[in-house]
Chains A and B, each alone.
Chain A
Amino acid sequence: MTALLLPGILLLAALSVLLRGRPLYGPLTEGFREGLGTLLRIFPPVAVTLTAAAMFRASGGLDALTGLLAPALQALGIPPETAPLMLLRPLSGSGALAVGAEIMEKLGPDSPAGRTAAVMLGSTETTFYTVSVYFAAAGVRRTKHAIPAALAADLVGFLCAGIFVRLFFGS
């Protein structure tokens, strides 16, 4: 089923443009150019994060951290290897992407931890960044209950990532 997703979206997107009588090639190539720009933008922070993250893994510190959090995470049904991703996720988008990529590379994208990391990345956001951008734009200084509520959403997202990956893919 999912094999049809990408070709199907491509066809529908192309048809929606042509039926409106708009040019197709211009926006399409512009999009590819923007993709390249995005990549250039995320590469430096991803590389910086991974430099420190790989050192931390090599030192055995990551195993110590994972081991420390493992009992609690296992009780919640979350693979303990995703601990660094959850800690970094609300703080840094590119950092979380970097750590998530490392988890998927080390343990395999189709391993329970790799899949859970991907679902976590896909279903949460860089909370602190979002909150600060929006409140700064609105000129609001007292954020009231927005940060705790947004962090509660992240926590539930992490928990659900563990639950649904186990449910759909077993483990």
Chain B
Amino acid sequence: MMDWIWTGLVAASILFGALNGRLAEVSAGALEGAETAVKTCLGLCAGLCLWSGILKLLEAGGASAALGRLLRPLLTRLYPEARMVPEALAALAENMSANLLGLGNAATPAGIRAARALGRGETATDSLCRLVVLNSASIQLIPATVCALRASLGAGSPFDILPAVWLSSLCSAGAGLLAEKLLRRPGR
């Protein structure tokens, strides 16, 4: 999919460049783009390293596990089927707390364990759909990469977007859950 989008972008650039008489700029643009990537990643380096360090500390200090315990009542309401399956519930708690803390490396394996426990057979169960919807709706307390990016580009206060991010995430996750409920059809 991305292969075709990338090739299409290059083709469209040549087309628009020829139409607008900007082929020289297009040619220079290729290198400029790669340069922007180098600058962006160098700028991100410090923030990303610092944040990964903090996350390791939070993991070692048990913040992730504590958050998981807090989330249990919510999880049994979201996934009623998991109430009878302790290992599914544990994996769900681990997945959600890792997502909240932005521990991508820990969230996916836990989520996969939960997915295996929730969905058997060829067709997705409703619980599995809900798990996927929640995981694709990024509910993060601190979107560290974006904040590091803002800081490296000279934002006045890199974290001032947090309330907007939280509210947008909540609305987006809520909309996903609602859509999951509305689109669900019995017997399919």
What residues make up the interface of A, taking CB atoms closer than 8 Å to B? 2-3, 5-6, 9-10, 13-17, 19-20, 22, 24, 27-32, 34-36, 38-39, 42-43, 46-61, 64, 88, 91-92, 95, 97-98, 100-102, 104-105, 108-110, 114-115, 118-128, 130-131, 133-135, 137-146, 148-150, 152-157, 160-161, 164-165, 167-168
B146 touches A35 (CB 8 A): no
CA A139 – CA B44 in complex, angstroms? Answer: 36
Q: How far is the CB of A37 from chain B (nearest CB, A)?
A: 9
A60 touches B2 (CB 8 A): no
A32 touches B13 (CB 8 A): no
Q: How far is the CB of A102 from chain B (nearest CB, A)?
A: 6
B175 touches A156 (CB 8 A): yes
Complex interface: chain B residues within 8 A of A164 (CB): 163-164, 167-168
Q: How far is the CB of A104 from chain B (nearest CB, A)?
A: 5
Complex interface: chain A residues within 8 A of B78 (CB): none
Complex interface: chain B residues within 8 A of A98 (CB): 37, 40
The answer to the question of B159 belonging to the interface, with a C-beta cut-off of 8 Å to chain A, is yes
Complex interface: chain B residues within 8 A of A161 (CB): 164, 168
Q: List CB contacts (< 8 Å) of B17-56 with chain A.
A: 17, 19-20, 22, 25-26, 28-30, 32-34, 36-38, 40-41, 44-45, 48-56
Extra inter-chain contacts (18) besides given A97-B149, A121-B145, A138-B119, CB under 8 Å: A3-B157, A13-B57, A31-B52, A35-B45, A36-B45, A36-B48, A47-B37, A54-B32, A59-B12, A100-B149, A118-B149, A119-B168, A135-B124, A139-B116, A144-B129, A145-B184, A152-B175, A153-B176
